[in-house]
Structure 1
Amino acid sequence: MDTGAAELRADYVIVGAGSSGCVIANRLTADPSVRVILLEAGGRDTNPWIHVPVGYFKTMHNPAVDWCYRTEPDPGLNGRSLEWPRGKVLGGSSSLNGLLYVRGQAQDYDRWRQMGLEGWGWSDVLPLFKRSENQERGGDAYHGTDGPLAVSNMRLVRPVCDAWIAAAEAAGYPFNPDYNGASQEGVGYFQLTARNGRRCSAAAAFLKPVLDRPNLKIVTRAHVRRVVIEEGRATGIEYGDASGAVRVAYADGEVILSAGAIGSPQILMLSGVGEAAHLAEHGIAPVVDLPGVGRNLQDHLQARLVYKCTETTLNDEVRSLVGRGRIFMEYALFRTGPMTMAASLATGFMRTDERVETPDIQFHVQPWSADSPGEGVHPFSAFTMSVCQLRPESRGEIRLRSPDAADHPAIHPNYLATETDRQTIVAGIKIARRIADNSPLREKIAVEYRPGPDVAADDDDGLLDWARNSATTIYHPTGTCRMGVDGQAVLDARLRVRGIRGLRVADCSVMPEIVSGNTNAPAIMIGEKASDMIAEDRH
């Protein structure tokens, strides 16, 4: 593994060793005749907290491994600005996310195909999900067991989460043992990307097993400045190495941007690919006028309800020195217990209205409560149930602040900009309260801490205002280099950048619409799909 090089040349140069980039690097170099350079702005994944599932408490907001992005003040959130963690390390955000393995709904991908994106329907992408997966439960029509990505069940049980599921069933929502199976709808327990109590990041799954391939060169601390474009073709990547020197990695075949929904559009714009007028504002000569670059930004916004409990929760265990010691020993000896915890234990995919065809909200239920990961738990017994809208209508954008690649771009999420989005978040909060009012969960609740009794159940305006003042991202930015067949699309269905030869994008920025769930599993699928198309076009 290199930290830099004076001049590198390969068939393919991949930017970003995140969820998609790691997959592409693995699959392409399976052919020993194909040379690949993988550039990563961050360092190696040596921080031990990366590999402990609950380590996201330590890695999020840590500038050593997190880009530490922050949004612009958002009108939909009453002018609040949100922190947007993104991985800056081998494995990308899969090295600091909540480990939740969620594919979305079959209808998500069928809608992509109905938009004219051939090859992206559910029947097309399901085999790719299965190909990646090593499912602990075993293989079937929906799951694979031969892939490098470990997918396992929870190794932690907490009564308050069991009670939440039972209360949701009492409220009329069916139990679903596998939301990644035949149907997503219902309540149950999360599946997570872990193996034997250890995080299975994209780097652990797809890079670590192939580090000795002589046709794969990984360069860390490589901060990309721009795509080198000559006579309408991408020929390489200009980057700053660990010493600050400017280098170029040359691609005889293609350049693939897998820098994520923030990084990929920023790199395109810095390279002269984007809305010409916006580029001109920053003194960048337009190479291709593509107004869609940076547009179509979508994210899942979560409203986090917190309930104080009549019994102890994980809050109490981690605040106690003895409790922390027990947790550590359980993990050290058995690889079980709270240190194996994903971001949430229980989940639910539900419809806010019987007229909605498929679930339009998702719950994340946690046996602890905090203002945010990294800030420590609340000083009282409590649990959290957060609810998010799965398919928001609101669209934001990524814009350049300057022509300097070191400057973070301006992030405008534009949350809650449509009436449907506002109604859905309020409906989700009401459903959360309805579940909390059912046994056996009701008996475990001392009081609703947030929103609290001051916000009445029938006060839609009050509930919406509470959401505006407290809701936060669930870390799923997508759509900023979307594929499509219309004039505003950045990519075609084969992920090729319009107007530039030899340049593709492969990460969550390519989504025309956000999927109905967490985005790590789809990012890995996009990497699988991209690697197939790149190999096909090579021959």
Structure 2
Amino acid sequence: MESCLAQSCAAVQGNSPLIFHQLIQTLLVSQCTLSSPIDYPPNRKDDILNNPDPFDFIIVGGGTAGSVVASRLSENPNWRVLLVEAGGYPSALSDVPALLLFLQNTPEDYAYEVEYQEGMCLGTATKKCKWGKGKVLGGSSVLNAMIHIHGNDKDFDSWAELGNDGWGYQDVLPYFKKSESYSPEFIAKFGDKYVGSSGQINIRDYNYTDSGIENIFMEAVQERGFPILDYLNGEQYIGFGRSQGTLDNGRRVSAAKAYLSPVKDRKNLFVVTSTRADRILMEGNKAVGVRLTFTDDKSVDLKASKEVIISAGSIATPQVLMLSGIGPRQHLDELGIPCVADLPVGKNLQDHLMWLGVNLEYLNKSGVTKTPKDYLDSAYTYLMHNKGEFISTGGINFVGFVNLEDPNSRYPSIQFHHVPIPRGDIFILEAVLNSMGFSKELQAEFAKFTPDRDTFMVCPTLLKPKSIGEIKLRSTSPSDRVKIWANYLDSEEDIATMLKTVEFLKSLEATEVMKKYGIKLRHLPIPGCKEFAPDSMEYWECNLRHTTATVYHPVGTARMGPAGDPAAVVDAKLKVHGIQGLRVIDASIMPIITSGNTNSPTLMIAEKGADMIKKEWSSKDEL
């Protein structure tokens, strides 16, 4: 392998625009050190077709939640469990933390595009925001930034206050802990009151950070009275610090790797990949199975004797439900789909909106300009020695939480995601901007500053949006993509909250440490905003409408709530109202979005959902 890598590095000449393709090739020829399909449960399509006996449980969606549920239910050797995933197996590249943005627009990404919304996503090439979503075993846990944040106690207590018994913070904390395995060193230092030490998914430090600008930024926020947090899943919710993530030994730990790889040889666990779930099979108001279509367009109806579980995520879960006649009656009638249950499926769509056009700039006198060859050197170091910048995500794990409306509150309204762009590092900049679908014209304005100055993207993220979106079917065909209305910034309150972050950053700009290093807030010359005076509020709102994007956290489209709640799709046991034998277990059940990255809460929901199923059916089986 070493000689192969050496040949790949030697092939690079000058500043070839093909440099990153050559890097990818270098990784591909070395994938024996990375993940492969043999690390996961095999595709048992032939077994299923040869023996179409009913399963006990059929789980639609092999993403974060589905991987957990399938693993937990198949712990009972007497239950036949089928897990259906539309995508394939994780690629070797997905193992590499630093390459997360380069997984966008690959076969592992659904690469959705939201519907046009006037005054939003103006900086994209199509004037429509892009939404990445994992189309792969492990789902978005294979594509995400691996940041592991629970949220805060108020998030979950608010769910319970809406009538969802058993979903308060003290109720769900055991399931967070059940899912995760923090290192012995972390537990020895901080204890296990709020985190787990023996769960399925390893949570570790990112281990490599070029921390110069981060340390300066932390000094600045401390000067303004904000604490620096040793870790982010404790009892303090306001402050800045470096998060831990779902990674270990320089490799991503997806839900599929954590939950399915260890049980890949279970005889009672059947996994089918590259297989579409078209609709739920119904007998009256009871779910009895699922219709599947394979890549050869062959369809088959499979039965479930106990339950069908939809874990397809906040975009595909409402699609499957509505195609099965479970959804808003008026919308189903428009498409000629017989309505089995009139429920607000697809409503209550919430997402965290991130603003990439708020940048700090400075002359880093100790920095070294990056060249394309540096990336091949880094790839070599990573593959041969498991060290260097490829074991991390370029500083994205440095985050902050503030409440700018109420400085005395314990609970944040804004999260900051930070992206350092070293001088000359055009590849990282392009990766970030391409992943959001920004136009070439806008990208060129960002890139003008890169040759001679370091950039620190300080990306304010709206944690509790008042603007609510919706998902609808495009047609009755399961192969057609749904219509996604994000409705970003529909609420004036959301706009005001985001614009407050500019004043916050100006206050940091005035700190002694920022002045010492000459760090300034950049006024990006955005096409479409040049009519406004730089630094005017009109300019900043224009900037906001051009350079905001998803941070990949859609939730809420099959909202949890008690019977009689007109906004609810599932009850507190995650059973679909009015339907027997059907549950939804994924992020779509969240009534209100959590205050942080959503992968960890999704793991918790799946652990709790699987536990409820096991308790219910184990007692029934005993009878």
TM over 0.5: yes
CA distance in structure 1 between the aligned counterparts of 2:265 and 2:420, rounded to whole angstroms: 41
Letter of the 1:490 counterpart:
V
Residues 182-222 of structure 1 deviation map (CA, whole Å, 9 limit, x = unaligned): 11211111211101110000001001000111110000011
Displacement of 1:516 in angstroms is: 0.4
Moved more, 342-351 or 82-91: 342-351
Structure 2 residue identity aligned to 1:370:
L
The aligned residue for residue 43 of structure 2 is 2
Partner of 2:87: 42
C-alpha change, 1:316 and 1:26, in structure 2 (3 Å) is farther
Corresponding position of 2:496 = 423
- Of the three residues 82, 98, 101, the one matched with 1:54 is 98
Q: More displaced, 373-382 or 516-525?
A: 373-382
Cα 1:25/1:177, change in 2 over 3 Å: same
Distance, in Å, in 1 between the alignment partners of 2:365 and 2:74 is 51
Partner secondary structure for residue 274 of structure 2: coil
Matching residue of 1:513: 592
Q: Which has the higher helix share?
A: 2
Whole-angstrom distance in 2 between the partners of 1:67 and 1:8: 31
- Work out whether residues 481 and 505 of structure 1, in 8 Å CA contact, stay in contact via their aligned partners in 2: yes
| 8 A Cα contact 2:523 2:534, kept in partner | no
Shift of 1:447: 5.1
**Cα deviations by residue, 1:472-500 (Å, 9 ceiling, x for unpaired):** 11110000000012122101111111111
Are 2:381 and 1:330 aligned? yes
Correspondent of 2:552 among 468, 475, 498? 475
Equivalent in the alignment of 1:504: 583
- Is 1:394 aligned with 2:467? yes
Q: Do the aligned partners of 1:303 and 1:429 also contact (CA within 8 Å) in 2? A: no
The alpha carbon displacement at 1:248 in A equals 2.0
Shifted more, 421-430 versus 391-400: the winner is: 421-430
| Contact 1:19–1:94 (Cα < 8 Å) also in 2 | yes
CA-to-aligned-CA distance 1:145-167 (integer Å, 9 cap, x gap): 11111111121122112222222
Change (3 A) 1:314 1:361: farther
Given candidates 139, 145, 149, the residue that maps to 2:197 is 145
- Offset, 1:172: 1.8
What's 1:460 paired with? 537
Q: Is the 8 A contact 2:560 2:590 kept in 1?
A: yes
- CA distance in 2: counterparts of 1:240 and 1:81, whole angstroms: 30
Once the two structures are TM-superposed, the CA of residue 346 in structure 1 deviates from its matched residue by: 1.2
* Aligned counterparts of 2:374 and 2:431: Cα–Cα separation in 1: 21
For 1:312 and 1:73, locate their aligned partners in 2 and report how far apart those are by CA, in whole Å: 43
CA contact (8 A) 1:58 1:374 kept: no
Shift of 1:440: 3.2
> Is residue 2:248 matched to residue 1:195?
yes
Residue 332 of structure 1, CA deviation? 2.5
Verify: 1:69 aligned to 2:112, yes or no.
yes
Q: Is the 1:161–1:345 Cα contact (8 Å) retained in structure 2? A: no
2:264 matches 1:211:
yes
- For 1:444 and 1:481, how far apart are their aligned partners in 2? 49
Aligned to 2:513, what secondary structure does the other structure show?
A: coil
CA distance in 2, matches of 1:97, 1:125: 23
- Tell me the residue number matched to 1:302: 354
> 1:110, CA displacement in angstroms?
0.5
1:231 Cα deviation (Å)? 1.8
Structure 2: which 5+ residue stretches go unaligned?
1-41, 422-427, 436-445
Partner residue in 2 for 1:358: 411
How far the C-alpha of 1:330 sits from its partner, in A, is: 3.0
Higher alpha-carbon deviation: 428-437 or 217-226: 428-437
Structure 1: state its 5+ residue gaps: none
Report if the CA contact (8 A) 2:509-2:519 is conserved.
Answer: no
Q: Describe the SS at the equivalent of 1:191.
A: coil
In the superposition, relative to structure 1, how do residues 450 and 119 fare at CA in structure 2: closer, same or farther (>3 Å)?
farther
Pair 250,429 (structure 1): closer, same or farther in 2 beyond 3 Å = farther
SS of the equivalent of 1:424 reads: helix
Distance 1:205 1:20, change over 3 A: same
Supply the distance in 1 between the matched residues of 2:525 and 2:242 (Cα, whole angstroms). Answer: 27
Q: Match for 1:513: what amino acid?
A: I
CA distance in 2, matches of 1:93, 1:53: 13
Q: CA 1:275–1:315 in structure 2 vs 1: closer, same or farther (change >3 Å)? A: farther
Higher mean alpha-carbon deviation, 472-481 vs 357-366, is at 357-366
Q: 1:334-381 CA distances to partner (integer Å, 9 max, x unpaired)?
A: 433221223703111111122645111001112226365373994433
**Residue 283 of structure 2 is aligned to residue 238 of structure 1:** no
Alpha-carbon distance, 1:33 to partner = 1.2
Q: Secondary structure at the match of 2:434?
A: coil
2:275 alignment partner in structure 1: 222
TM-score by length of 2: 0.82
| Maintained 8 Å contact 1:165/1:346 | no
Q: Which residue of 2 aligns with 1:16?
A: 61
Cα deviations by residue, 1:401-455 (Å, 9 ceiling, x for unpaired): 1011111100001111112111101012322333244343444456544546987
For residues 57-104 of structure 1, the C-alpha deviation after alignment (integer angstroms, 9 at most, x for no partner) is 221121x11011000112351663101000000100000001111111
Alignment CA distance shift 1:244-1:468 (3 Å): same
Q: 2: CA distance between counterparts of 1:128 and 1:209?
A: 20
Shift of 1:514: 0.2
SS in 2 for 1:224: strand
> How far apart, in 2, do the equivalents of 1:397 and 1:334 lie?
47
SS at 2:208 equivalent = coil
Mapped partners of 1:75, 1:101: distance in 2: 34
- Return the match for 2:239 from 186, 194, 197: 186
Partner SS state of residue 77, structure 1: coil
Cα distance change of structure 1 residues 35 and 467 upon mapping to structure 2, 3 Å threshold: same
Aligned residues: 534
Residue of structure 1 equivalent to 2:12 = none
- Give the one of 556, 561, 582 matched to 1:484: 561
Q: C-alpha separation between the residues in 2 aligned to 1:97 and 1:482?
A: 23
Q: Secondary structure at the match of 1:423?
A: helix
Assess if the C-alpha contact under 8 Å between 2:240 and 2:400 holds in 1.
yes
Q: Look up the match of 2:392.
A: 341
Greater shift in the superposed pair: 366-375 or 303-312:
366-375
Q: CA deviation at 1:462?
A: 2.7
After superposing the two structures, state which structure 1 stretch, 155-164 or 305-314, moved more: 305-314
2:241 and 2:605 map into 1 onto residues whose CA distance is 26
Structure 1 counterpart SS, 2:54: strand
CA distance in 1, matches of 2:247, 2:74: 25
- 2:149 aligned partner, one-letter code: V
Bigger mean CA deviation after superposition, 222-231 or 159-168: 159-168
What SS does the corresponding residue of 1:50 show, helix, strand or coil?
helix
| Pairing 1:81–2:122 present | no
3-state SS in 2 of match to 1:75? coil
3-state secondary structure, aligned to 2:270: strand
Distance (whole Å) between structure 2 residues aligned to residue 313 and residue 470 of structure 1: 30
Per mean C-alpha deviation after superposition, the further-off stretch among 335-344 and 9-18 is 335-344
Between 412-421 and 85-94, the greater mean CA deviation after superposition: 412-421
Q: CA deviation at 1:285?
A: 1.2
Say if 1:260 and 1:104 are closer, same or farther in 2 by CA, change over 3 A.
same
Check conservation: 1:76, 1:417, Cα contact below 8 A: no
Larger radius of gyration: 2
In structure 2, the CA distance between the partners of 1:450 and 1:399, relative to structure 1 (3 Å rule), is farther
| 1:113 correspondence with 2:192 | no
Counterpart of 1:125 in 2: which secondary structure?
helix
| Aligned equivalent of 1:530 | 609
The verdict on how the C-alpha distance between 1:87 and 1:39 changes in structure 2, with shifts beyond 3 A counting, is same
The verdict on how the C-alpha distance between 1:23 and 1:350 changes in structure 2, with shifts beyond 3 A counting, is same
Aligned to 1:248: 301
Aligned to 2:4: none
**TM-score for the superposition, normalised by structure 1:** 0.94
1:227 alignment partner, SS class = strand
The residue that corresponds to 1:494 in the other structure is 573
Give percent identity, aligned residues only. Answer: 35
* 1:278 equivalenced with 2:331 (yes/no): yes
Name the structure 2 match of 1:375: 434
